[in-house]
Amino acid sequence: MSAPQPSKLAFVPFVSVENMMRLVNRIGVSTVLTELASYIEEDFGRWELFDKTPRVASHSAEGVIELMPTSDGIMYGFKYVNGHPKNMANGLQTVTALGLMSHVDNGYPALLTEMTLLTALRTAATSAMVAKHLAPTHSHTMAMIGNGAQSEFQALAMAALCGIKTLRLYDIDAAATNKLIQNLSGHGLELVACSSAQEAVEGAQIITTCTADKQLATILTDNMVGSGVHINAIGGDCPGKTELHHDILYRSDVFVEFEPQTRIEGEIQQVPADFPVSEMWKVINGESKGRTHDGQITLFDGVGFAIEDFSALRYIRDKIHNTAFYQELDMLADPDDPRDLFGMLQRARGDEK
């Protein structure tokens, strides 16, 4: 007796790293960032429809492993992601990720995908979408402090959505800055290597901090931040990991994704629980004010939230439709009679004889 053939429902679309790269390169990185930012903004606009919970985190001395789930009532999505700052010294990625999207009505998965590249894209798209709402009008220069794996994505997203033309770069490792300059040459950006964070912020309307160390660091001090700038602080994403001196927070209007999570993981873990913040979905929906005057310092305390990953999964699912940029994986046992899972197993014995 031959083994039963998988049903149509047994197959789940899978986007490998290779196919993700092919898809992004076919569309174009800047276009992907722009389109992905629109998906994220759209989902922020319907924020109240989503399940919202801080990510489920398992911390260790070396880093953190997290699950980031959410649902809009129709689809469910989650991301598995790690953050291990010491990995780079061993030739490993600091962040790796994969994601799954499923139908709420029957629980069957609709997409499985790599999310290491996709997380880099969605993080940059989120930062630029937020900056579009909060940064000074006609911003043209950004300081990029921390020139690691996320930096090129941030630069291209800010160029595409906010009109950034000049990048002032600093990293404690000059090789990282040289890597960024090499990667972004030919992208129409003026790239300026700086010898310190202080030098990098000079003349910048947007300051991005994106460092990896799991510690209470001070990448920016109060005297380095002039009036009227927008700070895109995205390196702090777990307890005990920050980048800004707390005095900067008291001079800024602070904007967050999901306040209960950011209180634990973001820059605002340094300040009292009643320190005022605004959630970005309210700014997008007109319920809270964003930038109100030229001298205002706006600060996006970005730690990453599950709804952004949901948007990214939704985007990829739409984009792979009717393309060759995915594989069908036989992942679900789906017998003709749902009660006869053992029978399906028994009938498969014919292939082993």
Residues annotated as catalytic (active site), given as ranges: 237
Q: Which residues lie below 8 Å from residue 309, measured CB to CB, with a gap of 6+?
A: 68, 70, 77, 78, 79, 99, 115, 119, 122
| DSSP letter for each residue of 212-223 | --SSEEEEE-GG
Closest CA to 319 of 69, 9, 26: 26
Whether 148 and 176 have beta carbons less than 8 Å apart is answered as yes
The pair of structure tokens assigned to 226 is: 């002039």
Strand-pair category, 298-301 with 253-256:
parallel
The pair of structure tokens assigned to 283 is: 């700014």
* Residue 298 to residue 127: CA distance in whole angstroms: 13
Sheet hosting strand 166-170, strand order edge to edge: 190-193, 166-170, 141-145, 206-209, 230-233, 298-301, 253-256, 278-279
Closest CA to 16 of 314, 324, 308, 310: 324
Run of H or E including 21 = helix 17-27
The pair of structure tokens assigned to 65 is: 């492993």
Partners of 59 in beta bridges: 64
